[in-house]
Every structure is written in structure tokens, then in C-alpha cells.
Structure 1
Amino acid sequence: MNAKIVLICDDEEGMRRYLKKMLEAAGLAVETFACGASLLRRIEGGSPGDAGLLLQDMMLPDTDGISILKRVRELRPALPVVLMTAYANGEAAAAARTGGACDFLSKPFTREAILEVIRSTVGPAG
């Protein structure tokens, strides 16, 4: 990913820690966020192009993944977004893709599954 940062937004601390540890072990820089508001502040204030991927949970205490996705499309249209959820269904996946997500993952997922999504979205990641 060439020094790009993976942004992870998930309200579950365990999921944030798991993804951060795994992705850092694969050589990626990672920033984590527990709510949509803090993520959007980061995206609004960050340097253009410094983030290479957003892993976004669908259900957050302050908003939902589709709302975040719409806002990210306005602020950073080229930022790849992968939505994640423990409540997967065809309707959620369709809304994610229609909204501009590049992929959709159902929790729980394997290390191999998340790394494959990263490879297919932004290039090699360990």
C-alpha cells in the first residue's frame, strides 16, 4: 500500500485491536476509531491521500456504516471503503455496493479473508 494508512472504525474494542494487530503485523500503518464522529473528524482534517483504505463497521452507536460511506464519498471519493457487519444479509450488501463500498465482509471473518480483501482493493498486505 505504499505508506498509506488503513483506517478502522468499529465500536467493538476487541475487533479494533484484532484488526490493528493483524494489519500492523502485515506491515501496514493503522489508525482506529470507536465511532463515526471521530472517524469523520479524522477524514475531514487529514492530508489528502494519506489514507489508503477504510474498514468500516455497519452498526455504530452514533451512526451507521451507510451514512459514513455517503459522507466519505463526498469528502474522499477515491478512498476505498470495505464495510463489515455481524448482521449480514443481501439487503445490507446491496446497500453497501450501491453506496460505493468496494467490498463487504460478514463477521466473523478469517485473517486470510481480510488480507485478501486488502490485496484485491489496494495491493499486497503481507
Structure 2
Amino acid sequence: MSRILIIEDEERISSFVAKGLKSSGFQPTVADTGKEGGYLAQTGDFELIILDLGLPDEDGFSVLSRIRSTNVDTPVIILTARSSIDDTVAGLEGGADDYMAKPFRFEELLARVRLRLRPQAAVPEDQVIRVGPLELDAGSRRTRLHGREIDLSAREFGLAEAFMRNPGQVLSREQLLSRVWGYDFDPGSNVVDVYVRYLRNKLGAEWFTTVRGMGYRFEEPS
């Protein structure tokens, strides 16, 4: 039975989520402050954390930062009323594995919980992918362009890998969401477009072609 930590100060929501998770076979624990939630998260006793951002004693981003700074890699799903793309990107870049806006349907939250608890396949070590002068090492998580190392975040690296494994092919936003973020559905944000823009800034816009109504194509510039 997987133990799930719910860091949420609104009793109505925490009780609703906890009851739903318990009836679905999970063992939920509720913390209603960032201090308590952060402490419990760092014990390593939980398989997943559901984190609100609007906590009474500190911002949820601070709790997330503290959790990740102590090398706790427990999956974190942010569940919050903040629905802007800036907050979504900040949460994912800050170390969250998923981001879900309130109001929400419990069935969707449950699907995301089960997805994050699903065992992930190990990445083969020393697997190097090359497209022209661009090189990606999936073992060491390093990227080089013309021999110069490019600093990519975890999400940027995952997106670059998805593109480099399919050069010349048009990948839809739904395919990229599935391969990089693990979504089985479109959560209704433009997070893919935001991260493609990040890669364009770091690798060069000429590597990426927007195919209107379909997605993106990645290939070596001519």
C-alpha cells in the first residue's frame, strides 16, 4: 500500500483527497503547514507527495525547494489554484513531476497519482545520440553542440532527447507531453511550446520547425 503525503491547509480539500485515495487503496497522511509537510517529506517515508502552493506559513515553492535540496526524489504533484503558465513552468522547473490546477476532478488526480507511482524503465548508460554537430549523452545527461557543452534542465534534456530520437519527424504536442512529461492526455497548457522556445534559445531556432496544426519537426539545419 503506497503512502502518500498531502500538504494542503484547506481541510475540505485535504479530507476529500485523502478519502478518495484511501478508498483507492492508498495510505494518505495530511500536513496542513509547509513546515510540517516539509519535515515529513524529508523522512523518505512516502512514495508520493501532493503539494499545495498557497500554504499558511510559507509558499509551496519554498517547500518544494527544501525537499529537493535534501536530495529527496519522491515524486511531487503540485495541486493548486494557481493556473498560470509561469507558475506551471516554475513548478516543473523547481522539481515537481506534475502540476494540476484547482478546481479539479478526483478521477484525473488519481490517474496522475497512479502514473507517477508506475515504475520507470532505466535509461541505458553511455547511450549517445548524434544529429550533425549536436550530441546528447543519455548516460551522463550531457549535451554538446560543436563540442561545446550546453546546460539543459532535466525537462529540456528530456525534450531534446525525444526530438533527437526522431529527427525529421513531426512530433505532436500530445506525443511530446506523453514522452517527456508522462501525460496520457493534454492538461490544457502550452508547456510544450514554452520548452521548445527554451531549446530554440539554447540550441538555435534553426533546428526546430513549427508545423502548423500538427506539432514540431527537429532536424539538422541545412
- What TM-score do the two structures reach when normalised by structure 2? 0.51
Structure ranking higher on relative contact order (CA contacts 8 Å, 6+ apart): 1
Task: After superposition, give the CA deviation of every residue in 1:63-118 in whole Å (9 maximum; x if it has no partner).
Answer: 11111111111234310011111121000000001001000000011011101111
Aligned residues between the structures: 119
Which residue of the other structure, out of 73, 81, 86, is the alignment partner of 1:91?
A: 86
Give secondary structure in 2 for the equivalent of 1:54: strand
Give 1:36's aligned residue.
34
CA distance in structure 1 between the partners assigned to 2:67 and 2:79 by the alignment: 16
CA distance in 2, matches of 1:73, 1:18: 27
The structure 2 residue matched to 1:11, chosen from 5, 9, 31, is 9
Contact 1:43 1:75 in 2 (8 A): no
> Equivalences for 1:90-109 in 2 at 5 Å?
90-109=85-104
Partner of 1:20: 18
* Higher fraction of helix: 1
Aligned-residue Cα RMSD (Å) equals 1.5
1:55 aligned to 50, 53, 59, which one? 50
Which blocks of at least 5 consecutive residues in structure 2 are unaligned? 120-222
- Which consecutive aligned stretches of 4+ in structure 1 deviate over 6 angstroms post-superposition? none
Q: Which has the larger radius of gyration?
A: 2
Query: 1:58 is matched by which residue type in structure 2?
Result: L
Distance 2:19 2:2 in 1: 16
Alpha-carbon distance, 1:40 to partner:
1.9
**1:77 and 1:42 mapped to 2: Cα distance?**
11
* Structure 1: distance between partners of 2:59 and 2:114: 25
C-alpha distance in structure 1 between counterparts of 2:98 and 2:46, whole Å: 17
Q: Which runs of 5+ in 1 are unaligned?
A: none
What's the TM-score, normalizing by structure 1? 0.88
